[in-house]
Amino acid sequence: MHDLGYDLLRYARDTGGELGPQARRDLDAHLQRNLNTACMTDAGTEPRCDVMAGIASAAVQINSWRQGYRLPESESPMPYLAAAGAAVVAGSTFLRRTNR
């Protein structure tokens, strides 16, 4: 549903009716509410579900903030994968040096 909302934001822009940054904020808030509701209805998994929902919601909100709440655009994941790989290498190097 959230991805469809982003598609509709792009469609609105393409048809001359851009909705502005508040529409993206509203979609992100709606996603968070939906995730929280889904966790409440899934008995027995609520603690894990809440954690995962919080992580997913935070990731979406951080990305929207990073993009200035402008229209969502496709981006290459390569810079983020490279940064994550560098962090893993740095962390393992640090651990090897401290365990000597």
1 sits in which H/E element: none
Range of the domain at 21: 2-75
Residue 89 maps to a domain: no
| Structure-token match 């990305």, residue found | 63
Residue 51 maps to a domain: yes
Residue 80 maps to a domain: no
Q: What is the largest CA-CA distance in the chain?
A: 63
pLDDT tens digits, one per residue of 19-52 = 999 999 999 999 999 999 988 886 666 678 889 9
Residue 21 neighbours by CB under 8 Å, 6+ apart:
68, 69, 70
Residue 95 maps to a domain: no
pLDDT tens digits, one per residue of 52-82 = 999 999 999 999 999 999 988 777 778 778 8
The number of domains in the chain is 1
